[in-house]
Structure formats: structure tokens, C-alpha cells
A and B are shown apart, each in its own frame.
Chain A
Amino acid sequence: MRLKKIVFIGLLTILSSSFTKAHEYYISLTQIDYIKESKSVQITMNLFLDDFDLALNKTFDKTFNLNSREELKNSNDFIKKYLQDHFEIKVDNKTFKTNYLGKEYEGDIIYLYIEIENVKTISTIEVKNNILIDFFPDQQNLIKLKINDKFDSLLLTKKNDKGLLNF
């Protein structure tokens, strides 16, 4: 009997990583701004491009080649899918639909733009973000929020991938 070989990233290979070069830190930054006038929650997420490319490749078993001439044509469809699975927002205990608007590249960073529409008020917000965490156990997803003229932040990790804040 021959079985199809499925690749799971072994935890140990990542933990024992001993490269002497390349960025060894895993952090993403997500800025969440609530614009009351337009009832819109504007989300700008920035991630290391090579990490994100690897996560997409492994998740969908395709070669994405982000930010190159050979970039997969419908990469946005997969990014949208990936975000749906790993990024979630609840406002006042209600899950809202997130619209992925698109992406931009800047050096080794990829920016993802996401919007939530028709949010009339926010008194509590719950953010779940476990992007890249499957592949990089040390990944830290830092969330900075500006809602109702107040600032707050969350640091989401493998152990704790969601947080609730009052505004």
C-alpha cells in the first residue's frame, strides 16, 4: 500500500532553527480603526512577506510566489479564504463579516486591507487572530486599536489567540 505523503511541519524543526541569518522574529501588526461617521471598521494588517507566502503555500499546497512576476493569478481568493479562517472580529458579541479589500507590498512586508461595514456603535470588541501561528509557534500578532478616540492594544500568541476589549 502506498500512501500519499502529507507534509506537516514538524514542531522540532522550527524550534531548533539555528540559521545564523534571516529574520528570526515573528510578529505581525494589525491596526484597527473605527470610523464612526462612515460606520466602518478599517483594518490594516502587516506581515512578513516570506512567512505569509510560506503559510499560504503550505495551507493550500500551491506555490504563490507573492510579489513576483510569477505570482499565482488568483492569490487574492486564497488570501481571503486564509483570513476567514484565521481572523475574526466580534463587535458587542456579534460576529461581523469582514471584507478583504486587497493587498500591497513594501519591501519584505505585505499589507492586507480589511473592512467591516455598517457598524453603528462599538462598546466591546473581540479580536481573534491566529494568522501564521500554525507554522511559526513563536508568532506574535500585535493588535492596535483606535475606537471612540481611545487607544488600546492586544498581543495575541499561540497560547492566547483572542482578546476582548471595552471601549
Chain B
Amino acid sequence: MKNFIKSLLIFFLIASYGYSQNQPSVGHTDQNKFRQMKDLLPTPNNQHTASGAPGYEYTQQKVDYVMNIRLDENSNRIYGQEEITYKNNSKHHLEYLWLQLDQNKRAANSKTPDITSEVFDTPMNDPMFFTNNNIKKPFDGGFNIEYVKNADGNPLSYSINQTMMRINLVKPIPPGDSFEFNIKWWYNINNHVEDDGRSGYETFDDGNNSYAIAQFFPRLAVYNNVEGWQNMQFWGTSEFALEFGDYDVKITVPKDHIVEATGKLQNEKEVLSNEQRKRIELAKKSFTDPVFIVTEEEARANEMTTAIETQTWHYRAKNVRDFAFASSRKFIWEQMAVNINGKTVMAVSLYPKEGNPLWEEHSTRVVANTLELYSSFTFDYPYHKAVSVHAAGMGMEYPMICFNWGRPRPDGTYSEYTKNSMINVITHEIGHNFFPMIVNSDERQWAWMDEGINSFLETLAELDYDPNFDTGNLPKDIVRYMAGDQKFISPIMSQGDYVHQLSPNAYTKPAAALYMLRHTIMGPELFDYAFKTYAKRWMFKHPTPADFFRTMEDASAMDLDWFWRGWFYTTDVCDIGVKDVKRFYLTNKPTKKAEEFSKNYNLNLDQYKDYLIFYTEMNDSINKEDIKKASDFEILTYYLETLPEEEKKQLGVIPNYFYQVTFEKPGGLVMPIIAKITYEDGTTETKKYPAQIWRYNENEVSKVIKSDKAIVKITIDPSQETADVDTSNNSWPREIKQSKFEQFKSND
């Protein structure tokens, strides 16, 4: 038998050799979907290692700020003065420093409007809109730099290129040295309700403002091992890359304002009443319900009058990558204790009465839930608080503090949509404390690294808050985007400023991809360990995509190159279906195939009557009564009975039916095949074949399923785990699905 197969093999080898001799074909490079990512990932080094961990030569700069800030409520201006200490931990001499002037995106001479395509289609305007749209000069919200001086008070030369400012050093900063300098500036605060933005003020009907202030100071750009200076311009879309450091910030505001900010309040006694401080102490012990530091009643009274005097709130923060604050006389203030692995962290909310009743019901609880869930997946939240501030229409994150939307109607009622959207944005922005505020990836370069990874954990946190929450980030939710027009789709691994639809590209798709990696491909146990390893390795450091991809493989022994390549580097889609099912039965009647086979070996089948079990498809020469069950074959029963006891123990189910199932894959992504088998008795079983099943042939593969019960139905991806874009080929027998239209009409 062996020899026969061998000679057959040789025959085919010769045949195919002859064929290729006659028809030389065009060669190709390795295009297999499972080829390793050597062509895509940077060569590892001792800063970013092959395992995905920071190496022994990894360095990171440190920038400390001492700032005096004044918020002028009458002119809506921020005045600031800062003393910056730049510590050059790199091995390089730095000839200049780059600072980010993000507010210059709003300067009168900003180039952001210039690169925005416009159409004119306004049919009419009232005089106010006509004036605003056509006559008014653009708002000038850019930085006005009053001076840049070194520690001795001598002016330092600098030049400004849009949103970036270069400090021209007299002599380079040597490795290991520090450089101190001072900047004084002011700028006009934008109205974030009218013109959007990641900070600004909102004016309420009562004439009062609430301020959500960020990117308010010239901040150092990142200098690292992979980008040099990260000084790509801020056009308004791709967010920030920042260094860690210590902050000492004094904020002067009207005396009746309530302030929250990044960092620990240093002068509680000066700015808070005894009653407020007593309530803060109470809150530190309240783990189930928030405690009001300022009640709605108190806030209502406070907003009725306007203080002329000012007072200064003093904050210190260690090891943060940024600083932001909120200030208003309208704020209600509440705090609740959260137990993070034995350490008490404060969940805090700050909102005007216009946020109620929604905010008092959910904000602080959502903050607490988010801190707990994220900590369990990464590391214990290292800061002492996390604050959610209500700012109309804005969702934006900063260390320890974030600005969130979710406003009920004026009469206090709200839709489910408003409520869910608020829970969603608070979870998301509080979650950003972990990515990128601590695991400090570079959003200017890779939006998905903090938005996508954060949206993934956000999804788990929302499902933890409410198991029925519509997160919008599950694999089924990205089908619509992935199945859309390819012209408007970019790979996840794209820089955010030119991506057409950044939200599904950098938020939903990576979140859905990581969700399926955890639930469908790796399993929670392998995934969670590797994911935690990534978070811990890069906590307070600057990771790159390669560090994430490599760590996930290094810590799990899963080769995921195919997954990253497909999901992150291409716009391919998942589409897997059942192409064909061949059914085989058992019979004692020799089949044509068996007869032909026997002839080749000069066997006489008559001699083996009742000794052989034949496999057959249903066809003309086989009748229903010829189909047998395995138990009908006495010879098999006898054989099984005579087996030694030890071997009997090794026996499984005796199959009666054999199915050769051919799967097709019209989609470009390689993915596991998840096939739900439904048997004649109504029982089901789900078979899962790893993605590597496609390694030889990525268009079509087949599997044989042996069973004691007849299969009545096979369904691919029954629980919508793989973002399959076309489910019309997902079942056998092919289901003629009633269209949505017909379903609607027949229900009506």
C-alpha cells in the first residue's frame, strides 16, 4: 500500500515537473497572510526591545513646571508665567527645545482653516448670522508670548512655527544636564460651545461662565528614541504627545469660584470653608454614595452673586504628563471614596445645576466603576483622585481631570440617549487616565494607541456598569464601517490627520479588534496577562505600536502577526462562509467507488461480504434502506467487544454520519472559523478552527465532521464575534432570509 502511494506521488511529481517546464510562470515574493511582520516593524534595539519591553538603554526626558496662572473672568483671558526645568536624560546633546503652542490653532493667522475644504451653499442669513459669518474678523485665540528668559533673566531667542515654538539655545544641553527657563504669556479663551475645542468657556443664560481650561501653557514637546522631537503641527485633530514631570501650579480665580485641577490641593485651609473640609473628610470614608462638598442649593445661592476679589488655589502634582483645571461659581461638587486594592482614591464630579438630575445620579459612580475596572486590567490607579467635570458638548481627557458632556433638557428630563452617551463619555475620558496619561503613547502619531486601546477597556467597563449597555464598540458594531466604501477607509496604522472617519478608524475598529482578540482568538486568560504586561511595562513611559504588538505575543506564546497585519495594517474585511457540505453515510452495500478501488488492488469484494463498512453519498444507486447505523454492523460490534479493556477505555462516540464541510473566505482577513453545528435532536456544538487553517489556501478549506447524530444546520459566527461583513453565506443549508422589509411588513 505504501509503495503504491509512493509511486503515485512520483507520478504526480513528474507530471507537475513536466507541466512547469512547459509553462514558466511569474514568480512572487512572500505574500502569505501568516508571514512575520519583519517588513513592518522597526528593528528592535536596547531602547525598544524585541520582546516589546523598554530596554536598558531606554531614556525619557523629564519636565517640571512651576506656574502662576490668572483667570480673568471679565476679559475671558488666561495670564500665565511659568518656570520650566528641562532634564535631558537622553544620551544626546540638544541644540534646541521645542514647545507646543496648541492655542495657536485658534490664532487669527492659524492655517487650520486654510487647509479645510469649503463650499458655499447658505441660502439666507439673518443680520446677526450675516455679520458673524461674513463681516466679523476671526477670533484670535492664539498665544501672546510676552517673554522667554533663561534662569538669569536674560532673554532667550525663540522662533514660532504655527503651533510649535523652538527655543534657540546658546549652547546645547549635554546628556544628564538640566536647563531652566521662564515664559510669560496670555491668550483669549475660546467659547467652546460656539466653536468646539478641547477647552474653553461656556456662558449660561444667567450670565455666569464655567471654564474648562487646558493646553493653556507652552508645554514641552516629546523628545524620544523613535521620533526625535515630536513636533508635528497640531491641526486640530490628532491630539498630544507629552513628557512626564512635576507640577506646582497656583491658579488665581474669582473668590466665589470652585476649582478642580490636576494634582493635590495644597492650601485647603485658605480656599475651603471648615464645613467643606469636614465634608471632604466624610467623603474619604464614603465608599457607596457620593458626599456633597458643595450642594446644589449652595451652588444656586453662589451663582446669584459675583465676587470682585480673587483667591489663589495651589496644586502640586507628581509625575503627570499635563495639567488642566475647571473653574466656576456655578459648580456643585461631590466626592466618593473608591477602594483600589487597599488604597483610597477619590472619585469626584463637578457640574452646574444644569447637569442635574443626570449628573448626581451617575457621574461619580461611573468614575468609580471606571477606576476599578481599569485598575484590574492594568495597574492600581496611581493618583489620588479622578475628576469628571461637566462641559457642554465636550469630551476631553487630562491627568486626574476630564471634561464631559451629557446635559438634560431645561426641565430636567433627559432621553435614554443622553444618559447613555454621558455614561459612555465619562467612562471613556476617565479611562484615558490610564491610556495615554500613564501608558503615555503618542496620539499625534498613532491615534489608535490611546483612543483604541482605551475604547476597548471602556467597553469592558461599560458592560461592567450595565451588562446591557450598548457600547457601540463590539465586533458587530464595526461591520458597517468596514463594509463601507474603501475610498473612505484607512488602515488603523495611519496618522490621524488624513484619516477620513477617525472615530470608527481609531476608536471603534481597534476596540472591536482587541475585544475579539480577547474573547475569540486568545481567550481572556492569555490576553489579560499579556495586556497587563504591556500596561505595566510602559506605565509612565512612551510605548510605540511595535511595543504593544510584540508584548502581546511575547507574553502569550501566540503568533499574532497575521492579526496585526490584517486588522491594523490593511482595510481588509472578514467574510467567511460555508460553500458546500458533502454528506456520507454507512452502508453494507459495496459502492461503485469501493469496487473501483478494489479492482486496482485485485481484491474480490464478495470474499469480504459482511466484513467491510462502506461510506457512501446519497445517490441513485443507494436506497434509503441501504443506509445503516454503525450499530447495525455486527462485525464492528464484535470487533469492539473483543478489544482489550485498556483499548476500550480509549473509545469515543461511534459515528454514523460523515460530513465534508467546505468553507470559503471571500474576505481578505484570515480569521478563525467558528461553526455552530445543530443536530437532528436539537442539540448544538460549536467548533472553532484557528485562523491558521487558512495558511495553505486562503480561499477555501474543508473539514470532516463525524457524528452519531445527523447535522441539520451549520452556522458560521453565530454570535457575531468576527465582524463578518456578509452573512448571506454564513449558513448551511443556505437560509433564504426574509428581508428586514418583509419582516416589518408582516409584523405590521
Interface residues of A (CB under 8 A from B): 3, 5-6, 8, 10-13, 15-25, 27, 29, 31, 33, 42-44, 49-50, 53, 63, 65, 67-68, 70, 101-102, 104, 107-108, 111, 113, 115, 137, 140, 142, 155, 158
Residue of B nearest to A27 (CB): B484
Interface pair B503/A24, CB less than 8 Å apart: yes
Interface pair B239/A68, CB less than 8 Å apart: no
Question: What is the bound-complex CA distance between A107 and B470, given in angstroms?
Answer: 7
Interface pair B748/A101, CB less than 8 Å apart: yes
Contacts of B112 in A (CB 8 A): 16
- For residue B236, CB closer than 8 A to chain A, the reply is yes
Distance to closest chain B CB from A156 (angstroms):
11
* Binary flags per residue of B717-747, CB closer than 8 Å to A gives 1, else 0: 0000000000000000000000111101100
Residue of A nearest to B396 (CB): A20
Question: What is the bound-complex CA distance between A131 and B122, given in angstroms?
Answer: 17
Contacts of B451 in A (CB 8 A): 20
Contacts of A8 in B (CB 8 A): 122, 124-125, 129
Contacts of B239 in A (CB 8 A): 20
Contact check: which of B124, B413, B425, B503 meets A70 at CB < 8 Å?
B413
Contacts of B236 in A (CB 8 A): 16, 18
Question: What is the bound-complex CA distance between A31 and B488, given in angstroms?
Answer: 20
Question: What is the bound-complex CA distance between A46 and B152, given in angstroms?
Answer: 65
Contacts of A70 in B (CB 8 A): 413, 415
Contacts of B742 in A (CB 8 A): 42
Shortest 6 CB-CB contacts between residues of A and residues of B: A25-B501, A24-B503, A21-B395, A42-B741, A68-B415, A44-B741
- Supplied contacts A27-B480, A67-B417, A104-B744, 11 more A-B pairs, CB within 8 Å: A8-B122, A16-B112, A18-B197, A18-B236, A19-B196, A21-B429, A23-B472, A25-B481, A25-B503, A49-B417, A101-B744
Given A11-B122, A15-B118, A18-B236, the answer on whether A23 and B741 have CB atoms closer than 8 Å is: no
Interface pair B739/A142, CB less than 8 Å apart: no
Distance to closest chain A CB from B485 (angstroms):
6
The contact sample of 11 A-B pairs, CB cut-off 8 A, is A6-B129, A8-B129, A10-B132, A12-B113, A16-B112, A18-B196, A21-B424, A22-B425, A44-B744, A68-B416, A108-B417
For chain B, residues 482 to 512, give those with C-beta under 8 angstroms from any C-beta of chain A: 484-485, 488, 500-504, 507-508
Given A8-B122, A22-B395, the answer on whether A108 and B745 have CB atoms closer than 8 Å is: no
Contact check: which of A22, A24, A43, A67 meets B741 at CB < 8 Å?
A43
Question: What is the bound-complex CA distance between A68 and B416, given in angstroms?
Answer: 7
Given A11-B118, A18-B197, A23-B504, the answer on whether A107 and B472 have CB atoms closer than 8 Å is: yes
Contacts of A50 in B (CB 8 A): 417
Interface pair A22/B503, CB less than 8 Å apart: yes
Residue of B nearest to A103 (CB): B744
Given A10-B129, A25-B503, A108-B472, the answer on whether A16 and B415 have CB atoms closer than 8 Å is: no
Contacts of B416 in A (CB 8 A): 67-68
Contact check: which of A13, A33, A111 meets B196 at CB < 8 Å?
A13
- For residue B116, CB closer than 8 A to chain A, the reply is yes
Question: What is the bound-complex CA distance between A13 and B190, given in angstroms?
Answer: 13
Contacts of A27 in B (CB 8 A): 480, 484
Contact check: which of A20, A68, A155 meets B395 at CB < 8 Å?
A20
Contacts of B428 in A (CB 8 A): 21
Contacts of B500 in A (CB 8 A): 25
For chain B, residues 127 to 151, give those with C-beta under 8 angstroms from any C-beta of chain A: 127-129, 132-133
Residue of B nearest to A15 (CB): B116
Distance to closest chain A CB from B27 (angstroms):
36
Question: What is the bound-complex CA distance between A20 and B742, given in angstroms?
Answer: 39
Distance to closest chain A CB from B512 (angstroms):
13
Given A21-B425, A113-B741, the answer on whether A142 and B484 have CB atoms closer than 8 Å is: yes
Interface pair A102/B128, CB less than 8 Å apart: no
Distance to closest chain B CB from A36 (angstroms):
15
Contacts of B157 in A (CB 8 A): none
- For residue B237, CB closer than 8 A to chain A, the reply is yes
Residue of A nearest to B499 (CB): A24
- For residue B198, CB closer than 8 A to chain A, the reply is yes
Distance to closest chain B CB from A110 (angstroms):
12
Question: What is the bound-complex CA distance between A5 and B128, given in angstroms?
Answer: 8
Interface pair A101/B745, CB less than 8 Å apart: yes
- For residue B42, CB closer than 8 A to chain A, the reply is no
Distance to closest chain B CB from A21 (angstroms):
4
Given A18-B237, A24-B503, the answer on whether A44 and B740 have CB atoms closer than 8 Å is: yes
For chain B, residues 36 to 76, give those with C-beta under 8 angstroms from any C-beta of chain A: none
Question: What is the bound-complex CA distance between A18 and B484, given in angstroms?
Answer: 23
Question: What is the bound-complex CA distance between A115 and B748, given in angstroms?
Answer: 14
Contacts of B113 in A (CB 8 A): 12, 16
Contacts of B396 in A (CB 8 A): 20
Question: What is the bound-complex CA distance between A50 and B132, given in angstroms?
Answer: 27
Question: What is the bound-complex CA distance between A31 and B421, given in angstroms?
Answer: 28
- For residue B84, CB closer than 8 A to chain A, the reply is no
Contacts of B397 in A (CB 8 A): 20
Distance to closest chain B CB from A6 (angstroms):
5
Interface pair A113/B503, CB less than 8 Å apart: no
Residue of B nearest to A32 (CB): B741
Contacts of A12 in B (CB 8 A): 113, 133, 195
Question: What is the bound-complex CA distance between A104 and B508, given in angstroms?
Answer: 24
- For residue B259, CB closer than 8 A to chain A, the reply is no
- For residue B393, CB closer than 8 A to chain A, the reply is yes
For chain B, residues 530 to 557, give those with C-beta under 8 angstroms from any C-beta of chain A: none
Contacts of B502 in A (CB 8 A): 24
Question: What is the bound-complex CA distance between A33 and B421, given in angstroms?
Answer: 35
Distance to closest chain B CB from A18 (angstroms):
5
Given A8-B122, A18-B237, A104-B744, the answer on whether A23 and B503 have CB atoms closer than 8 Å is: yes
Contact check: which of B119, B125, B129, B470 meets A137 at CB < 8 Å?
B119
- For residue B647, CB closer than 8 A to chain A, the reply is no
Contacts of A140 in B (CB 8 A): 484-485, 488
Distance to closest chain B CB from A72 (angstroms):
12
Contacts of B125 in A (CB 8 A): 8
- For residue B194, CB closer than 8 A to chain A, the reply is yes
Interface pair B196/A16, CB less than 8 Å apart: yes
Distance to closest chain A CB from B548 (angstroms):
21
Question: What is the bound-complex CA distance between A10 and B740, given in angstroms?
Answer: 37
Question: What is the bound-complex CA distance between A68 and B414, given in angstroms?
Answer: 9
Residue of A nearest to B106 (CB): A16
* Binary flags per residue of B376-420, CB closer than 8 Å to A gives 1, else 0: 000000000000000001111100000000000100010111000
Interface pair B133/A10, CB less than 8 Å apart: yes
Question: What is the bound-complex CA distance between A23 and B473, given in angstroms?
Answer: 11
Distance to closest chain B CB from A147 (angstroms):
14
Question: What is the bound-complex CA distance between A74 and B28, given in angstroms?
Answer: 63
Interface pair A65/B470, CB less than 8 Å apart: no
Question: What is the bound-complex CA distance between A96 and B504, given in angstroms?
Answer: 36
- For residue B525, CB closer than 8 A to chain A, the reply is no
Question: What is the bound-complex CA distance between A125 and B683, given in angstroms?
Answer: 47
- For residue B681, CB closer than 8 A to chain A, the reply is no
Distance to closest chain A CB from B140 (angstroms):
16
Most chain B CB inside 10 Å of its own CB: which residue of A12, A20, A27, A63: A20
Question: What is the bound-complex CA distance between A115 and B740, given in angstroms?
Answer: 13
Distance to closest chain A CB from B357 (angstroms):
15
- For residue B126, CB closer than 8 A to chain A, the reply is yes
Contacts of B470 in A (CB 8 A): 107-108
Interface pair B488/A42, CB less than 8 Å apart: no
Residue of A nearest to B502 (CB): A24
Contacts of B128 in A (CB 8 A): 5
Residue of A nearest to B476 (CB): A107
Contacts of B425 in A (CB 8 A): 21-22
Interface pair B485/A142, CB less than 8 Å apart: yes
Interface pair A102/B504, CB less than 8 Å apart: no
Question: What is the bound-complex CA distance between A104 and B740, given in angstroms?
Answer: 10
* Binary flags per residue of B263-299, CB closer than 8 Å to A gives 1, else 0: 0000000000000000000000000000000000000
